[in-house]
Amino acid sequence: MIIIDNLNDMQKELKQHKQKSIGYVPTMGFLHEGHLSLIKESVKENDLTVLSIFVNPLQFGPNEDFETYPRDPKHDETLAEKYGVDIIFMPTTEVMYPKKLTFSIEVTQKADILCGKSRPGHFDGVVTVLLKLFNIIQPSNAYFGMKDAQQLAIVHAFVEEFNLPVNIKGLATVREPSGLAKSSRNVYLSEDEKDSAVSLIESLTYGAELIKSNKYNVNEILEQVKSKFSEKNNTSFEYLELLSYPDLEKVTKIKSTVILAIAVKYKQARLIDNLIIDKNGNILTEFN
């Protein structure tokens, strides 16, 4: 495994692998099992796997946790090597953004709902950095977790609308034995919060069962999911939504695939989780 922190070396290295399929796992580091499942799939499906580790300032709002976002590059390197990554691309902010940008990319749909509502500009920052990273790495396949389902929907649309030559693969959320979705930000949770946070997935799963039963309309489902969540948890919702997926539009009836998504705010962490559910109530475990 080699670690590269600049564009020249990256270009030189990739020139040697021109005929190979490149699998790419974009991350902000502090790797957990969710990232490792993406790496595993990339290693399985491609000749070469590139992992990027870059905490992208452009996708953090002024009052968000850019400075304190958890970082542990040495630990990440050990894990990446163990799981078969060939190249880690770990640029500095100066390498990625050497000067003030002349252009800006604005996500004009799917961005002002769910997480985008409280994080204006977040997805603009995500697609900007991804455009740069896709151009630098030129991957055949890029792997994303379904936990960030709104990001996945936006990246799918971005790649399609701008004809970017990369396949986007969305893989199942990896969970703790309790059901809590793995996230780099879980380190901010107290033990009590971790226990109560299990009600995120419990209430979403209950929602999937209600969809499967085919007896309730969208409002009734949301009401019941809310009370299920509140049985074990007095944290308030940032959102609880049932939308079409990947279009992320309001629905009154469930006629095609939907996302049931939740965000709650704990003392030091904001947790999100979701299930993507087909019209028969089956939970999808990949979205390509």
- Does residue 46 bind ligand PAF (CB under 6 A)? no
Smallest CA-to-CA distance from 92 within 14, 29, 47 is with: 29
- Does residue 28 bind ligand PAF (CB under 6 A)? yes
For 42, 122, 156, 231, the CA distances from 144, given in Å and listed in that order, are: 11, 17, 10, 32
Provide the minimum distance between the beta carbon of 172 and ligand PAF in the complex, in angstroms, as a whole number: 15
Q: Which tokens belong to 261?
A: 């998504």
> Using CA atoms, how far apart are residues 9 and 220, in angstroms rounded to an integer?
56
Nearer to ligand PAF by Cβ, of 41 and 202: the residue is 41
- Does residue 148 bind ligand PAF (CB under 6 A)? yes
Binding to ligand PAF in span 54-73, by CB under 6 A:
56, 59
Nearer to ligand PAF by Cβ, of 92 and 213: the residue is 92
Catalytic residue, candidates 32, 35, 75, 122: 35
In the residue annotation, 35 being an active-site residue is answered as yes
Smallest CA-to-CA distance from 5 within 53, 56, 65, 58 is with: 53
Provide the minimum distance between the beta carbon of 25 and ligand PAF in the complex, in angstroms, as a whole number: 9
Nearer to ligand PAF by Cβ, of 27 and 199: the residue is 27
Region from 124-132, 172-180, 187-195, 225-233 binding ligand PAF, contact rule CB under 6 A: 124-132
Single residue of 4, 10, 22, 26 touching ligand PAF by CB under 6 A: 26
Q: Which tokens belong to 157?
A: 């649309």
Nearer to ligand PAF by Cβ, of 217 and 288: the residue is 288
> Using CA atoms, how far apart are residues 20 and 205, in angstroms rounded to an integer?
40
Region from 9-17, 26-34, 96-104, 236-244 binding ligand PAF, contact rule CB under 6 A: 26-34
Distance between start and end Cα atoms, the chain = 28
Nearer to ligand PAF by Cβ, of 24 and 206: the residue is 24
- Does residue 273 bind ligand PAF (CB under 6 A)? no
Q: Which tokens belong to 227?
A: 């009370």
Peptide bond into 246 cis (omega under 30): yes
- Does residue 129 bind ligand PAF (CB under 6 A)? yes
Buried b (16+ CB within 10 A) or exposed e, 61-86: eeeeeeeebeeeeeebbebbeebebb
Q: Which residues are catalytic?
A: 35
Residues of the shown chain interacting with ligand PAF in the complex, contacts defined by CB under 6 A: 26-28, 56, 59, 126, 129-130, 148, 151
